Structure 1
Amino acid sequence: MKINKIAFAVLTALVAARATHAADDNSPTANTPAAASPAASASNASTLGTVTVTAQHTVQDVQDVPITVQAFTGTTLQQLNITSFDDLIKYLPNVTFAANGPGQGNIYMRGLSTGFLGNQSSATIAPFPNVAVYLDDQSMQFPARNLDIYMVDMDRVEVLEGPQGTLFGGGAEAGAVRYITNQPNLNRVSGSAEASTGVTAGGGPNNSANAVLNLPIIPGTFAVRGVIYNDHQGGYIDNVPSTFTRQPTDGGGAMAPYVAAGGTSVANNYSVAQSNWNPVDTQGARLSGLWKINDDWDFLIAESYQNMDANGQSSTYPIGADGQTLGTHQITAFVPAWNNDHFTNTAWTLNGQIGDLSLVYAGGYTNRRISEQQDYTNYARSAGGMYYQCTGTPAGISSAGKPTCYSPAGYWNDHVSSSHQSHELRLSTPEDDRLRFIGGLYYEDFNIDDHMAFDYLTIPSCTPGNLAVALTGGAPCVANAQASPGVNMPAGTAFGENAQRGYKQEAAFGSMSYDILPDVLTATVGTRYYHYSEWQTGTEFYTTSAQVNVPNGTYVGDDTAMDYHKTYHGFKSRANLLWHITPDMMVYYTFSQGFRPGGFNRTSSGVAKLDGEPQYQKPISYAPDTLTNNELGFKGTFLDDRVLFNASLYDMRWDNVQMQFFNPLVLGNTTFAVNGPNYKVQGLELQWQARITDGLSVIGAGSLNHAKQTNSPCLINNIPGSAGYNSCIVETGAIGDVTSFANPFGNVGSTPAFSPRSQYNLRLRYDWTFGANYKAFWQVGANRTGSMYNQPATYPSGAGVTDITTVELRYLQASYTTVDASIGVARDNWDVSLYGTNLNNSHASVFTSSAEFIESQVPIRPRVLGVKVGYKF
C-alpha cells in the first residue's frame, strides 16, 4: 500500500473540499454517543466543562459513572501529543505496561499481574490478558500482544478500572481500555492535516503526518469520513559489534571439556551491528460511512487498516554477549530481528428505536497477522543450548572425533495469524425513566494460528553428503525436526509448535437501575451469563537423539499432538448504589465481578523428579481465575465547576490465579501454567482538576496500591503410587543428590509483579490570546512511576546472576520520573507547536527479563524534541 501517495490524494481533497463547499453548519458530529462539550475543549473556557462516556453502554457524564474512569477527549489527546499507548500510560495512575516492543505487551491495572515472560511462543502458551482492549465495540485482546492502536481522529479514549465482567465479559477481568473513533458528520464538510518532525537524543529523526476528511455525500442522510496516517520513529538502540566466545562455565561447567579440546567456535555479529537499529514505522487508514435511514434508525460501517514495522529489538543488555559492560542504549545481537504487525478491522453498528426501546446491534471482524524474529544466541550458554549445538559425550550425542561445538548463533521465528469475530445486540429502555433496563446477547469467535520455530540447532543437518560422512565414522548429523509426518521443518529448527487455539463465547447480560429518590439515590443490579467453548490443537515438535544420523524427512515420532477441548459457564454480577449529595457531588458503592478465560498447556509430562521418579504430572488445562471488587468512591465539582475532585477506595480479591512456570532444571524444558494462589489488592486513587484562572488549568491523578498474596498453596504430588502422593513436593533430585524444592507459589504476603506502590502525574496548561486573533498556550507535565518487580516473589532473583538457566528471573525495575512540555500558537485555521517528551532524559526499564537467557531491559524512549504544524477547517 503506497500510503504516501494516498496521503497526498487526501490532502488534495482537503483543499478542494475547502474551496468548493461552505461549512456553515456547525452542528456536532451526528450520532456521536459521547464527546467533550464545547466548554470542555475550548481553550478560553472558564469552567471545566463536561465529558460524556459510554462506559455503561449508556451516555453519561463521566462524573455520574459509579466506577473509576479516566477519559481523554480527542482534543486532549492532541494537546498531549498522544498517539500510542506508550504515550497514554504516562497519564494513567494504577496502570502498568509490560512492553517488549511495539505491539508486544500486556496491560495491567491495580497491580493484578503474575508477571510477563516475553513473546516467544506467546500466541500458543500465554494466558489471555485480564485487561480488555476495544476499538469502538470490537474486542482487540490478544495473549501477550495487546494491539497498539495508533490514536488519530479519536473521539476519546476511556480507561475503565476494576472488573467489567457484566457488560464487557471475560477479557475485562481487571478493566478495559476503549478507543472510540470519530464518526462521520452528516451536515458539515470538515477536515484537518497535521505533520511533525523531531529528533531523538542519541538516535534517529522522527516524522509523522496525518489527514482527516469528512464529506456529507447526501447532507443530513449519508456521510463518509476518512483518516490516513504515516508515522516514523527513529531508532535509538545501537547493536554494537561483539563476539560470542564459549566459556568453560557454560552449561553449568559442561562446556569445559570442549574448551579444553579446542572444539569451540567464536561467532561475531559484524554483519548485523549498526546504530539506531530499532526504528518503527506505522502506517494506516480508516474509512467510515454513516447512513441516517430515517429519524429513528442509522447505520455505521467502518474499515480500519494498520501496518506496523519494527526493526531490530526494543531491548538493551547491561552486559554483552562476551561479558563486556555496555552503554545505556546498547545491545549485542547476532541475527537480523524484526516485528511486523498488520491488522484489518471491519465494524458495523445499527442504532434504532422500537417504540420506547433503543436497539443497538454492533458487529466486527478483525484479521491480524504477525511476523517476528528475535535473537536467541545467548541460549547457547545453557545446557539446552549445548544439546542442540555440540557433539561429544558431554552433550549427549557421541562422536568418534574430538568434542565439537558448532556456531552458537540462534534465533526464534514466529508467524501468527488470527481472526476475531463478535456480534452484540443490546436493548434499553429510555434513560430518563425512573426504572431502566439494559440487556443484550453476545457472541464471539476468536481463532489463533501460531507457527513458532526456535532455530538454534547448528549441528549439521543430515543432507545426503553429511549423512554419508556420518555413517562412515565422521562427524554426526541431525535430521530436520518434523511437526507431523510429512511436514519437514527447515534445517536448524530445534523446537517449536504449529498450534491453533481459540474459543467461542455465547453470553447474555442484563442490568436494571431504579431511582429510589429521583436525581438523588439510584440502585443498579446486573448479571452476565457466559458459556465458553475453548480449544487447542496442533503439534509441538522437537529434536531427539532418534534423529541422529538418519536421512532428512525421516519421521521418528518427534512431536506431541494437541487436541484439547473444554467448556465452562457461569454468572458474573455487579451492583451499585449511587447517592447524589448535591447535583455536583455524589458518592457510590460498587460491587463487581470479573474473570478471564482459562487455557491449555502444550504437553502433559512428569516432572519434579525425586530419585529418578516424577512427582508431578503437568496439567493439560488450567481454569479461569476470578476477581471480586468492592469499591467506595466520591466524585464532585466545586466553585461553579472550576474544581473537580474524585477519589476511590477499593478492595479486590483475585482468586485461583493463573501462573506460568519455566524451570528446566526441575519442572521440565517447556513453560506450563496452573491455577495457584489468591491475592488481595487494596488501594486509593485520586483525580483532580482546577481552573485556576480563565487560562490556567492544573490536572493531576495519583494512586497508592497495596497488593499481596493471601494464601500459600503448594505443588502437590499428583502421580498415584509414587512416594509422597497427594502431599506437597518438598524435595527433588537425582539418586544420592536430593535437594529441597522451593514452593513455586510463594509465601503469604508476597508482592505480585508490575505492582508499584505509587504512581502519580501532574500537568499545568496556560492558554491566552494576543494580537490580531492569535491564540497561544504552554503546558508542562511530570509523571512518576514507583519501583516494581517483573515477576512474583516466588521466582529466583536475577540480581548478579550471569549463568542464566531460566526465562523467569526476578528483577527490580527502578522508579522513574519523566517531564514533558510544549508551547504553541494558532491563528484562524493554522497552528504550530514545539514539544518535548522525557525532557529530563530519564533512563528506566519498563520490562526487565531473562527471556533471551541474558538480562535484557526495554527502556523508555529518550528525550524527543519536535515541531508540529496543523491545519483544520
Structure 2
Amino acid sequence: MKINPITCAVLAALAVTRVSYADDTTQPAPTTQPVANAQPAMPAKPDASNASTLGVVTVTAQHTAQDMQDVPITLQAFTGNTLQQLNIVSFDDLIKYLPNVTFAANGPGQGNIYMRGLSTGFLGNQSSATIAPFPNVAVYLDDQSMQFPARNLDVYMVDMERVEVLEGPQGTLFGGGAEAGAVRYITNKPNLDRVSGSAEASVGVTDGGSPNNSANAMINLPIIPGTLAVRGVIYNEHQGGYIDNVPSTFTRQPTDGGGAMAPYVAAGAAPVANNFSVAQSDWNPIDYQGARLSALWKINDNWNFLIAESYQDMNAKGQSSTYPVGADGQTLGTDQITAFVPGWNDDHFSNTAWTLNGQIGDDLSLVYTGGYTNRHISEQQDYTNYARSAGGMYYQCTGTSAGLSSAGKPICYSPAGYWNDHVASTHESHELRLSTPEDDRLRFIGGLYYEDFNIDDHMAFDYLTIPSCTPTNLTSALAGGYPCVANAQSSPGVNMPVGTAFGENAERGYKQEAAFGSVSYDVLPDVLTLTAGTRYYHYSEWQTGTEFYTTSAQVNVPNGTYVGNDTVMDYHKSYHGFKSRVNVVYHITPDTMVYYTFSQGFRPGGFNRTTSGVAKLDGVAQYKKPISYAPDTLTNNEIGFKTTFLDDRLLFNGSLYDMRWNNVQMQFFNPLVLGNTTFAVNGPNYKVDGLELQFQAKITDGLSVIGSGSLNHAKQTNSPCLYNNIPGSANYNRCITETGAIGDVSSFTNPFGEVGSTPAFSPRSQYNVRLRYDWMFNGGFKAFAQAGFNRTGSMYNQPATYPSGAGVTDVTTVELRYLQGGYTTVDASIGVSKDNWDVSLYGTNLTNNHASVFTSSAQFIESEVPIRPRVLGVKVGFKF
C-alpha cells in the first residue's frame, strides 16, 4: 500500500509527540476573545460521556451570534467535533445528514447543490464554466463566496469550527447566490491564550478498490499571549480508486449517425478502435492536499484583526462515472466503464481573507471583511461515444455527404475523442457591516457589499480525427488523396490544437454592488420580536470571447488559414432591484419558539454564446436563441417551531414552507432540432410545499439520538411555450409545434414541461437517524459506539418533458431523463480514548449500496456516478 510522505510524517509525530502540562488530559478551551467577522468561537457541546443536556450551538446565520434555537429559519449546524466524529471531510460525506439537500455530483469539485427540490436538471461539466447558469445555493468559506457554475468548490473539512446549512432564500444578507439557501464552512480561529495542537491519521480499504490513507495536523501558537496568535493546519488524503476501465473495442455500426454510417461500414472503411492503452483497474483515485494559516491580532480591548491564507490542491484521475452498457453494447459489471482516452480533473485554489472587527463607542460594532480567491481547473474527459451521433461522425469521416468532405473514397478515422477544459477564475469581495448591541430592544444591522467575479474558460472538443493539413497531408490531398482538414482557429492567428472540432475561448463574470439593512424590535422583551430587512443590488454582467468551430471551408487548405470560423461574443447587461425578508418570532416559553418568515431570493442571469436560428420548419428557422437570460426569483413563506424539553434533554424542531420559484432558468441541448450548442432561456414557474423535522434526544447521560427528515411536494405551475420569435416568418409569435424538412415534418414537444410535472433532483422524502453511546471503563478510558442511517428517495435527473433514457442505446442528446432510484446507506464507528490519545474503527456504506447520485447522457452514453463502495478503516489521533 502506497502512503503519501505527509501521512508518514504525521504518523511519526503521533509516535513521538508528547507535551506536558499541569493537566495534560484537559482539552483545549474554546476561543473566548472577540474574533473576526463578529463570530465568537462557538461553545462546544458538553462531552456526551458526562453531560446531561444537549448543550448550545451558537451560529452566525444572521451575521450575529445566536443560539441555533433562536434563529427563525430552517437551519442545521454541525460542530467541528461532530464533523470529526462522523468522519466528514467532503460534501459527499455531509449530505448524508442533510434532508432537503441533493447533489448532482459529477465527481469531486464538479457538481451543483440543490435545496428543497429547486432544480431544472444538470447537463454535465463540458463547457460549464461558459454556459452553465450560476448556482442557486451559495457556498461560503467563512465570509468568502466560493460558488461556481456547476463546479462548487469541494472544501476539505478539517479544523472546522462548524458548518451551517441555511435553507430557503437568504437574499437579504447573502445576496444573489443564496436564492435557495447557503452552505457556510466556518474555520477555527487562532486562540490568543493557549498552545494547542492535534494530529490525526487513518488508513482504510475500499470494497473492490485500492487502499485509502489520510493525515492532518494542527498547531495553535500564541506569539504574544493575549495579543497575537497564529494557527496552522495541513492535510493530505488519498482515496483509492474503485472504478475499473475495462478493455473494450469500439466498432462502428451501420445505424450510427441515424444510418449515415452504413456506406462506410459497407465499404469496409470504418476501422475498429480499442482502449487497451488506457484500460486499468481502480482508475479513479483522488488526492487532496492543502494547508491553512491564520493570524489573529488583538489590537486593543475593542479591536482585532484576522488574516487567513488557504490553499488546496485536488487531483482526481480517471472518471467518477460508470457505464451500465459499454462502448460496443456489452453489459458491464458494477463500477465499470469503457473509456478510450485518459481522464483527469485537477482543481487548485488559494484564498486570502481578512477581517477587521471592532467597537465604535458603546453602541456600534463594525466589521470589515474581504477576500480574494484564485482558482485553476484542468479537466479532460472521454467523449468517444459522440462518434455514434451524426455530429461526431461528421468530423471523423470523409467521402460521402454525411462527412465533412464528400470528396474521394469513403473513409473513417479513429472514433476516440475527448473534451479538454482549462478554467481560471478570480473572486474578490468586500463587505462592511455595522450593528447595534444585540441586547437592545431596538437593534439594527446593515452594510455595504462589493463583489468582482471573473471566469476565463478555454474549452476544446477534440474529436476531429480527420488528418490535419500539414504540408505532406495537403500535398497528398490536392493530388487526389484523402482530404485533410486545417486546424480550427478561435480568431485570426490563434490556432487550436490538432483534433479540435469545436470550442470556446470565453470570459464571463459580473460586478455586484449592494446595500442591506435589517431592523429588529422586541415588542414584548424575550417574548415577541419583529424583524424586517431588505437588500438593494446592482449587477453589471458580461461575457466576451469567441466560439469557434470547424467547417467545410477548412478542407484541403493549409493549417493556419483563417476562414472566419468563430463567433465573437461581446455581451453586457446590468440589472438591479430589492430583495426583502420579514420575521415574526414568538417565545411561548423560554424553551419554545414559533416563527413566521417571509423571504426573497434570486440568482444572476447569464448569456448564451450565439444567437443562431434553430427549430427549422421546411428549412426556415422559427426560433432565434436569445443573447441573454434574466435572473429567476424565489419567494418563501415559512412557519416553524423550535423547542427543547425535559431540562434540555430533548429537542424538536419543525417547519412548513410554501415557495414560489418564478421565471426559472432552463438549458436546452437537442442537436437534431435546437442546434448543436446548449442555450438557456427563462421558462416556467414552480411551487414547492414541504415539511422538515429535526430532533435530538439525550436518552441517558451516554446515549444520544439525532435525526431529521423532509417531505417535499414540488410541481410546475404554468406551461409557457417556445414561441416563434423571428419576425416575418409564417408562425411569428406563436408556439412552435412542428419542425422538420419538407415532406418530413414532425411534432415538436414543448420543452418547458407540463403543469403538475415534478422538477429534477427533487425526491419526495429524505431522512436520517444516528445514535451514539459514550461510556467510561477501567479508570480513565472513554469509549464510544455510533451508527448512522440515511435514506434518500428516488428522483429524476431532468424535467418531465425531456425524452426518457430508459432502454435508449442510440443517444443523440445530453438531456435524456433517467430515474435515479432511492437508496439507503449505513455508517458506523467504535473507538476508545485515554488522556490525549484516541483510536477508532469506522465503516461507511456498510451495506455496500451501489446507487447512482447522477445518471445522465452527458457523454452520449448512459452514465452513472455511484456512491463510494463500502470503506473500512482505522483512525488514530492525538491532541494537546
CA distance in 1 between partners of 2:28 and 2:379 (Å): 47
The residue type equivalent to 1:690 in the other structure is: A
The residue type equivalent to 1:848 in the other structure is: T
| Cα deviation, residue 8, structure 1 | 3.8
Q: 2:295 aligns with which of 246, 265, 289?
A: 289
2:533 maps to what in 1?
526
Q: Percent identity?
A: 84
Q: 1:341 aligns with which of 342, 347, 353?
A: 347
| Cα deviation, residue 397, structure 1 | 3.6
SS at match of 2:177: helix
Aligned pair 1:454/2:455, yes or no? Answer: no
SS at match of 1:666: coil
CA distance in 1 between partners of 2:216 and 2:298 (Å): 28
1:558 maps to what in 2?
565
The residue type equivalent to 1:340 in the other structure is: D
The residue type equivalent to 1:380 in the other structure is: A
The residue type equivalent to 1:86 in the other structure is: D
The residue type equivalent to 1:582 in the other structure is: T
1:89 maps to what in 2?
95
SS at match of 1:394: coil
2:83 maps to what in 1?
77
Aligned pair 1:513/2:520, yes or no? Answer: yes
Cα deviation digits, residues 32-64 of structure 1 (max 9, x gap): 525553444443211100000000000000000
8 Å CA contact 1:785–1:817 kept in 2: the answer is yes
CA distance in 2 between partners of 1:681 and 1:386 (Å): 43
The residue type equivalent to 1:615 in the other structure is: Q
The residue type equivalent to 1:609 in the other structure is: K
8 Å CA contact 2:48–2:702 kept in 1: the answer is no
Comparing 394-403 with 525-534, which one deviates more in the overlay?
A: 394-403
1:31 maps to what in 2?
34
1:770 maps to what in 2?
777
8 Å CA contact 2:48–2:701 kept in 1: the answer is no
Q: 1:238 aligns with which of 244, 255, 273?
A: 244
SS at match of 2:222: strand
Aligned pair 1:750/2:757, yes or no? Answer: yes
1:623 maps to what in 2?
630
Cα distance change of structure 1 residues 387 and 16 upon mapping to structure 2, 3 Å threshold:
same
8 Å CA contact 2:27–2:879 kept in 1: the answer is no
Which aligned pairs between 1:394-473 and structure 2 lie closer than 5 A?
Answer: 394-473=401-480
8 Å CA contact 2:30–2:43 kept in 1: the answer is no
Comparing 443-452 with 5-14, which one deviates more in the overlay?
A: 5-14
| Cα deviation, residue 6, structure 1 | 10
| Cα deviation, residue 337, structure 1 | 0.5
2:655 maps to what in 1?
648
Which aligned pairs between 1:252-263 and structure 2 lie closer than 5 A?
Answer: 252-263=258-269
Cα RMSD (Å)? 1.6
8 Å CA contact 1:538–1:562 kept in 2: the answer is yes
CA distance in 1 between partners of 2:62 and 2:497 (Å): 51
CA distance in 2 between partners of 1:606 and 1:130 (Å): 29
Cα distance change of structure 1 residues 35 and 71 upon mapping to structure 2, 3 Å threshold:
farther
The residue type equivalent to 2:123 in the other structure is: L
SS at match of 2:394: helix
CA distance in 1 between partners of 2:729 and 2:13 (Å): 76
8 Å CA contact 1:35–1:73 kept in 2: the answer is no
8 Å CA contact 2:619–2:742 kept in 1: the answer is yes
The residue type equivalent to 1:813 in the other structure is: Q
2:616 maps to what in 1?
609
1:46 maps to what in 2?
52
| Cα deviation, residue 15, structure 1 | 6.9
SS at match of 1:708: strand
8 Å CA contact 1:14–1:191 kept in 2: the answer is no
8 Å CA contact 1:184–1:289 kept in 2: the answer is yes
| Cα deviation, residue 601, structure 1 | 0.3
8 Å CA contact 2:697–2:706 kept in 1: the answer is yes
SS at match of 2:395: helix
8 Å CA contact 2:44–2:79 kept in 1: the answer is no
| Cα deviation, residue 394, structure 1 | 3.2
Q: 1:221 aligns with which of 218, 223, 227?
A: 227
Q: 2:553 aligns with which of 546, 555, 558?
A: 546
8 Å CA contact 1:520–1:581 kept in 2: the answer is yes
Aligned pair 1:365/2:372, yes or no? Answer: yes
Aligned residues: 872
Cα deviation digits, residues 556-600 of structure 1 (max 9, x gap): 000000000000000000001000000000000000000000000
Cα distance change of structure 1 residues 688 and 236 upon mapping to structure 2, 3 Å threshold:
same
Cα distance change of structure 1 residues 246 and 759 upon mapping to structure 2, 3 Å threshold:
same
Cα distance change of structure 1 residues 407 and 801 upon mapping to structure 2, 3 Å threshold:
same
CA distance in 2 between partners of 1:178 and 1:313 (Å): 28
CA distance in 2 between partners of 1:186 and 1:597 (Å): 41
SS at match of 1:88: helix
SS at match of 1:807: coil
Cα deviation digits, residues 107-148 of structure 1 (max 9, x gap): 000000000000000000000000000000000000000101
CA distance in 2 between partners of 1:197 and 1:357 (Å): 50
8 Å CA contact 1:3–1:283 kept in 2: the answer is no
| Cα deviation, residue 471, structure 1 | 0.7
Q: 2:357 aligns with which of 345, 351, 356?
A: 351
2:176 maps to what in 1?
170
| Cα deviation, residue 614, structure 1 | 0.4
Cα deviation digits, residues 11-39 of structure 1 (max 9, x gap): 86997793599989965213352555344
1:18 maps to what in 2?
19
Aligned pair 1:853/2:860, yes or no? Answer: yes
Unaligned runs of 5+ in 1: none
2:735 maps to what in 1?
728
8 Å CA contact 1:679–1:709 kept in 2: the answer is yes
8 Å CA contact 1:34–1:54 kept in 2: the answer is no
Aligned pair 1:128/2:134, yes or no? Answer: yes
8 Å CA contact 2:48–2:774 kept in 1: the answer is no
1:139 maps to what in 2?
145
2:275 maps to what in 1?
269
Comparing 11-20 with 122-131, which one deviates more in the overlay?
A: 11-20
CA distance in 2 between partners of 1:600 and 1:211 (Å): 44
TM-score, normalised with respect to structure 1: 0.98
CA distance in 2 between partners of 1:264 and 1:860 (Å): 37
CA distance in 2 between partners of 1:173 and 1:397 (Å): 45
Q: 1:673 aligns with which of 669, 680, 696?
A: 680
8 Å CA contact 2:751–2:802 kept in 1: the answer is yes
